[in-house]
Amino acid sequence: MALIAKDDVGNVHLLNDSWKLWYWRFSGTVVPDVNWTDNLHGLCEFDSVEKFWSIFNHIKMPSMLTTGCDYSVFKSDIKPMWEDPSNKNGGRWLIKDSGLLDQYWMDILLSMIGGMYDPYNDNICGIVYNRRQYSKISVWISSSDTNIVNDIGSKLKHFLDTKEKLKFEKHSEFLKKKINSHKKKILAK
């Protein structure tokens, strides 16, 4: 997939946005609802094709992370968490593991930083890879508007060249479900 750079400054090919790589480190003492943010670490930022490759040629592919850890790449002014103003009214397109997640991770990253979601590039917030027993990728967007959600979803399917059904989940609905299941667990005690 080709990268479209906004500008060429000398030998540097600038991207439309600056992006930040984050790492969520699993440690045995994590209590998800209590200290999730303590384990979230911003690693480095990039705003050019050259910086992108200097980072991604040297880090582990996400499937090589320890189970329980995450990678995220978000626009530099957006934190990879539901609470961020750019995320809180949006949601995520979820892609389940079918043995191709490392390839999907790179393909989606390139499509995001290359600005291939026209006219909705501004609605792209970032991408998360959760390394789990059943790993998953999610593409976070800032809107739940049906046209925007569906347009980004069909572009994603096209870039990944997949016939698999992808699922969209609003962050607000996901959080509601989480709270309800928590309440049910408490009532069952």
Taking CB under 6 A as the criterion, the residue among 10, 28, 32, 119 binding ligand MGP is 32
Say how far apart CA 134 and CA 63 lie, in whole Å: 11
- Rule CB under 6 A: which of 79-98 touch ligand MGP? 81-83
What mask, x for binding ligand MGP by CB under 6 A, covers residues 108 to 127?
--------------------
CB of 54 to ligand MGP, least distance (A): 28
Q: Are 125 and 86 in contact (CB under 8 A)?
A: yes
Annotate 134-185 with DSSP letters as a single string: T-EEEEEES---HHHHHHHHHHHHHHHT--SPPEEEEHHHHHHHHHHHHHHH
CB closer to ligand MGP out of 38 and 118: 38
Q: How far apart are CA 46 and CA 15, in angstroms?
A: 9
Report the candidate in 99, 78, 77 with the shortest Cα–Cα distance to residue 87: 78
Residue among 86, 123, 130, 143 that touches ligand MGP (CB under 6 A): 130
Q: Which is nearer to ligand MGP, 25 or 155 (CB)?
A: 25
Could you give the CA distance from residue 189 to residue 172 in angstroms, rounded to a whole number? 26
**Closest CB to ligand MGP among 114 and 126?**
126
Residue 28 as a binder of ligand MGP (CB under 6 A): the answer is no
Per CB under 6 A, residues contacting ligand MGP are: 32-33, 36, 81-83, 130, 132, 178
